Amino acid sequence: MVDRVRTGVTQLDKMLCGGFVAGDTVIVAGGAGTGKTTLGLQYLVNGATRFGENGIFVTFEQMPNQIYRDAKNFGWDLRRLEQENKLRLICTSPELLLESHGTKHFLDEPIRQVKPRRIVIDSLSNLGMYIEEKEVRKEAYRLLNYFKTKQISSLCTWEAPGIIGQSLLTNVGLSRVADCIILLRLVEIESTMRKALVVLKLRGSDHDKALREFKITSQGITVAKPFTGFESITTGVPRRVQLPRSF
Amino acid sequence: MDEIYSKLLSSDTKADLLILFHNNPGLTDTIEGVARRIGRTASEIEADVKDLVDLGVLVKQRFGKLDVLSFDTNRDNQIQEIISNQLKRRAD
């Protein structure tokens, strides 16, 4: 029986046949405004408040005060969770995560203090600001294996501005480093921007392959039913398809 | 206390650094990273950072080949009071 790490997003956990596999590396890829950071925060807040699993959130670009404010809009009091030592929000530069000091890692101390089972890196694509593209895979592999050694399940966001979003992951070879890949993207359907989610990969486990609509509500992300009646949704420009009458 | 107060507020850069760390206590970054977050360069903030480290407001630690700055949480209450007064004055 595989040990699962529940996201707390009911439908997403169903798609993942119970949750992420414990200790695995998850990459949530998507363009700006698709909800990557929200999903990462929700994963940590649910871990800390519902499943007894502490977490660390590492942000590179977004400042903590913005994150506290945005989280509060979803009813998540991150400051209180920090006071209770269930969560730690760390704002730093990617180069510090890549640096080593003898045998010490930059995150050794917060990990010792918080004892997290979950960590979110927002965003792994920021590594590319400090190292060449060909080095990203190697350095990401080293960083993610550090978490695995500590038995921490990691969720890394990945800024994917391309049409489908997956191509950039493939370019730097991260799709092989990740155990699970979730793609979020905006799609235009009948002049309305909607959000789509699909689990592209879940190593060692079955999963729902359907492309589902999701919404960012006042309680965070909720995943709804699959898109039906359209094709080419992942291109961002879906076409309506004529379903046979028997459907 | 007066000496600390006058040193803390002796430049706009120091005030910006204090507000940055006060609002973002989880910030632990290189001098370059901190400078970037207030729209300056490392060389522009170097002297002010040194003053704040000397005052015990910021902690500077060597990590590998990088200097890392963080907020001294032990002095947080005292600093919060000073910053709060500064913010009130700015608002007036």
- Assess whether pLDDT exceeds 60 at residue A74: yes
Average pLDDT, chain B: 85
pTM of the model: 0.89
pLDDT of residue A63: 94
d(CA B10, CA B84): 16
Q: What is the mean pLDDT of residues A123-130?
A: 87
Using 50, 70 and 90 to split pLDDT, how confident is the model at A227?
A: confident
Q: What is the mean pLDDT of residues B31-43?
A: 95
B26 near A CB under 8 A: yes
Give the count of domains, chain B: 1
Domain ranges of chain A: 4-240
B39 near A CB under 8 A: no
Q: What is the pLDDT of residues A38-50, one digit of tens each?
A: 999 999 999 999 9
For residue B40, the tally of other CB atoms under 10 A from its CB is: 15
Question: Are B73 and A113 within 8 A, CB to CB?
Answer: no
- Assess whether pLDDT exceeds 60 at residue A97: yes
Angle at A86 between CA A105 and CA B64, to 5 degrees: 15
pLDDT of residue B3: 64
- Cβ contact, residue pair B24, A65, below 8 Å: yes
For residue B33, the tally of other CB atoms under 10 A from its CB is: 21
CA distance A151 to chain B (A): 23
Q: What is the mean pLDDT of residues A178-199?
A: 89
Residue type for position A247: F
In CATH, what number is assigned to the domain containing residue B41?
1.10.10.10
- Chain A residues with CB under 8 Å of B25 CB are 64
pLDDT of residue B4: 64
A89 near B CB under 8 A: yes
Among residues A107, A176, A100, which one has the least CA distance to residue A138? A176
- Cβ contact, residue pair B66, A99, below 8 Å: yes
End-to-end CA distance of chain B: 23
Question: Are A215 and A25 within 8 A, CB to CB?
Answer: no
**CATH class of domain segment(s) A4-240:** alpha beta
What are the CA-CA distances from residue A23 to residues A97, A118, A119, A150, B44 (Å)? 19, 8, 10, 9, 43
- Chain A residues with CB under 8 Å of B60 CB are none
**Ordered DSSP codes for A158-202:** EE--SSSSHHHHHHTTHHHH-SEEEEEEEEEETTEEEEEEEEEEE
Among residues A151, A112, A237, which one has the least CA distance to residue A186? A237
Phi, psi of A120 (to 5 degrees): -120, 130
B16 near A CB under 8 A: no
- Assess whether pLDDT exceeds 70 at residue A168: no
- Cβ contact, residue pair B26, A93, below 8 Å: no
- Assess whether pLDDT exceeds 70 at residue A170: no
